[in-house]
Amino acid sequence: MDNLIRTSNFDLIIETTKSMCMDDGVAAPSLGKLIGHNLFHIIQVKKGVALRNGDDKKLQEAENFQRLFALEWTYRVNSVCQKMTNTINHQKVKTIPLTDDLKTLRSYIILSMGNAFESLEKISCAKVWLGLAKLTLCRLILSNKRRRAEVKYLKVKVFESRPKWQHEHGGEFEMALSTSDRMLAKR
């Protein structure tokens, strides 16, 4: 690696990374970012070794390579990989799960939560608590499909103190709902 981290090899590294990211028509755009991340760490290691050994030539090589890396890597590799990722994501067909599958998953989660709760009543064990917590999180994510990331930050106190909009505000929210949303809200 020491001989590779030289400005004379920078274009070779760029071309190799690009060919690895687009090998045989199979795109792997995240590989470019990973290689860049690892290269940055290799540069730091080379600088550290050069400083420890007092080798000014190797230190200068690493610093020059790092400058070139900082100037060109983003637009020559990262931006190309990001565009490729965006293109791949836009071409994916987004499918939603079948209602029957969601019902089956919901039934399984509820059954598993019941079993975990019964096990917890018999013996209090951290493993069972963790399993029950994961199942509860899955159940919340399943019911909050639109904003999955919010669930992990949801506190029990916040959930319990949420507004009961069905009973408050004189029916303003209900009037704003479409007919199908109004029927679903009554469930």
Mean pLDDT of the 67-87 span:
89
SS3 165: coil
Buried b (16+ CB within 10 A) or exposed e, 55-69: eeebbebbeebbebb
List pLDDT tens digits, range 86-117.
888 888 777 777 778 888 888 999 999 999 98
- What Rg, from alpha-carbon coordinates, does the chain have? 27
> Over the stretch 23-70, which tens digit does the pLDDT of each residue have?
666 778 888 889 999 999 999 999 999 999 999 999 999 999 999 999
Range of lowest pLDDT (20-24, 39-43, 116-120, 174-178): 174-178
Residue 172, both tokens: 């303003």
Find out whether 2 and 46 touch, Cβ atoms under 8 Å: yes
Tens-digit pLDDT profile for residues 128-174: 889 988 898 888 887 766 566 777 777 778 777 776 666 655 566 66
